[in-house]
Every structure is written in C-alpha cells, then in structure tokens.
Structure 1
C-alpha cells in the first residue's frame, strides 16, 4: 500500500468517525430537546420518553433539525405553551453542543 493510499484511508476513516459522532450528537440532542419539550407540554414518565423517542426517530429519518423544531412549535401552539421558534432553536443548539461535548469526551 502506497503512502497516498494510506493517507486516503486515514482521511476516509476520520470522515466516517466524524459523521458517526455527529449522528450520535444529533440523536442525543433531539432526545434532550424532546424531554425538555415534553416537560413544557406537561408530559412525564413514559409519555415524556415516548415523545422524545418520536422526535429522535423523526430527526434520524429527516436529517433536519428545523423540521423537529417546527413539530415542537406546532405541539406547543396546540397546547398553549408560549415558546418562540427562536427559543426552541436556542435550546436545541445548547443541547447539541452539550451532546457533542459528552460524546467527544467520553
């Protein structure tokens, strides 16, 4: 194997590893956001877990945090919870940073 091939393999492995970390971080952030939203909606226990799991599943399929945020906003409006899209987005960004840090550091 040439040096170029080794370098190419190393780059591909790093890319795959980074993508896996991002996937895990988004999934964890969706769960944290879902649990936060569930609490705001008055859900607890299994109902809160189910709500969060539903958001994780939707996030994994759609790969779009804006769709998750829109779903939460819709649920909040329907339940009379006063939170803006900006506030939900801010919480998601905080949860994503937390999840990424936890995953990278162990």
Structure 2
C-alpha cells in the first residue's frame, strides 16, 4: 500500500502546485491588465497602481473572467476611451501570456 499512498500524495502535491500557479498567473494577469487600462486612460503612476489593485480585487466578485472584462469595459468607456469587448479580451489573452512568462522567469 505504501507505493499507492506515495503516488496519491504526489498527485495531491502536484494538484496543489498547479492550482497555486494558476492563481498567481491570474492575479499577475489582472494587475497587468489594470496597468494596460490605466495607460489607455492616461492615469498617473499612483493612480495606475491603485487601479491595477482594483482590477485584481474585481476578479473576486464571481468565477471566471467576466467580472474583470465588465469592469475594464465600464471604466474605459467612462473615461472616454474608444474600446470594445474584443479589444479587452485580446488584451486579457496577451496579458495572460505575459504573466505566465514573468512567473516562469521568476522561478
């Protein structure tokens, strides 16, 4: 039974690592998205930092990315930036790749 127990513990440890990495990638991606949107809106560096944090917090409202997309679209539109859903989703995809790259380099 010890081989089975060892294998089970290994799978559980891998699952935990994978979930932690997914969470970190999502949080980093949201921060990068906030910085991207802040640049579009012409915010100052202090405002950019605060806005990026608010985008990270927005992701905790509901499961999935819709809450983040909704926040970005609303804020960009309110700031008078011409954008659409496809542009925000493209930025989301690009920042996901960048966040994953940054975290892989940090390891």
TM-score by length of 2: 0.91
Alignment correspondent of 2:76: 76
- 1 or 2 for the larger relative contact order (CA 8 Å, sep ≥6)? 1
Determine the structure 2 residue equivalent to 1:6.
Answer: 6
Gaps of at least 5 residues in structure 1 are none
- Structure 2: any 5+ residue segments left out of the alignment? none
In 2, the alpha carbon distance for the partners of 1:27 and 1:37 equals: 15
The answer to whether the 8 Å contact 2:58/2:71 transfers is no
**Would you say how many aligned residue pairs link Structure 1 and Structure 2?**
106
Please tell me the root mean square deviation across aligned C-alpha atoms, in Å. Answer: 1.4
Q: Which residue of 2 aligns with 1:45?
A: 45
TM-score with structure 1 setting the length: 0.91
Of 60-69 and 72-81, more deviation after overlay is shown by 60-69
> Residue 62 of structure 1: SS of its match in structure 2?
coil
